[in-house]
Structure 1
Amino acid sequence: MLAERSICPVHGRLLQDRCVSCHRRLSVAFRLLDGRAQPACSYCGLLLAGRGGEGGRPHDVTLMSRALAVQQRITASLNGEKPERAQFEKALAILWAPLDHPAAARPVLALWFNQAGWRCPYDVRHAVGAKTPLAQLPVRWRVVTLLALDDVFGVDLRGDGEMPPFAAHLVRRAASRQIRLSSSSRWSHVQLLKRSAAEYERLARQILADPNWIAAEELPRRKRERVRARLIDAVLRVGSG
């Protein structure tokens, strides 16, 4: 459930979670070829046994080694070799907890980046507030999370000693731990977030008619998704104001 595997323990290289041909999220099917079943991309049919992803851009060896070490520690905790599993789950949940507000789209991890105006990418926002965030993330974001885990919490997650100052700061900023809503205020908050189907339809039509979205039709897929995310944020912000 922690889905910590993001680096090959044999080769020290980043695992592939997208097809190297059609670039969609990897979905494996089996095709009968030469009398045996072979793994293939279920979208474009590319055979996945040819190690086609190994010619990519090399990654920072030091960072890969650090992330691999954390990955191995988590794997050991899952296998019962070390009693750290609960601590790992707690620390990972803190890193991806909503920042300051329960409905925030930014995780506490944003503070680790220490970049003014950093926004959580649209394709990983669904991991914000998730109980097991690594299972929700693409491979590259799993590596980033493992590096942040190492930087923030260090090697000792048993809880015997004092929590590192930065880790304690992040715990205080995690909305799920900082904010305790009363039953009445919680109900008001839920009511505020609710919208009718007609309202959502109106907002969708507004986005589709926006000149920026119409112009984005000529852009590559990733840039088009970023435009869509900005437009969604804008209409929801106006709608809740």
Structure 2
Amino acid sequence: MTGAPIKVLVIDDEPPIRKLLRMGLTTQGYDILEASNGKLALDLLAQEPALIILDLGLPDIDGLELLRTIRGRNEAVPVVVLSSRGDEVGKVQALDLGADDYITKPFGMDELLARLRAALRHQLQVQGERPVFRTGDLSVDLVRRIVKVGEREIKLSPKEYDLLRVLVQHAGKVLTHRFLLKELWDELTDAQYLRVYVRQLRQKIEIDPERPQFVLTETGIGYRLRAPD
């Protein structure tokens, strides 16, 4: 990592977890702020962290409520939830409230670092609004509405393209079924419609639709497009 260190706010009430994150992240060049509770975390927001790692099981403020408050103060800062809660309901709630990703404890440091990089790339992409998105062999020209895998142009139906466009705009972020349904249809409808279009899109852009490399499934939660390279 080059340039000024990226400031990361770690919100977790477990000292061993904070120590692990501090050691793992500082070796990668991150600058760490630590909060053991929600009140301190809100105070540290004034230091404008570029990224937040949030545990939901805090002693003073419910983690989801804290996430809601953070989003009310800063809509753009990437938030990666790191929690021992593995239930799908909790994950969906966190993502619907604006979390960029959700990782369940215990976790691997390499995976966490990769998710953090993806969250930061997503933020830069949103800020830059790059007209051509690329990840691996997939390219999407959002101005000319041209989709290619390698040199091969892919013909998509209007709804398939709309689905891909939303995924591109939030590449690297987990999008819940509910979010995608609201974006793609005027009214909430059966999630089966979404599954059908995801399957059709994979048939056209994936080398092996049964083992997708681009449109990834977050089981029981939603989908995530691979972050840009």
With normalisation by structure 1, the TM-score equals 0.24
- The structure with the largest strand share of the pair is 2
With normalisation by structure 2, the TM-score equals 0.25
Report the structure number with the largest CA radius of gyration. Answer: 1
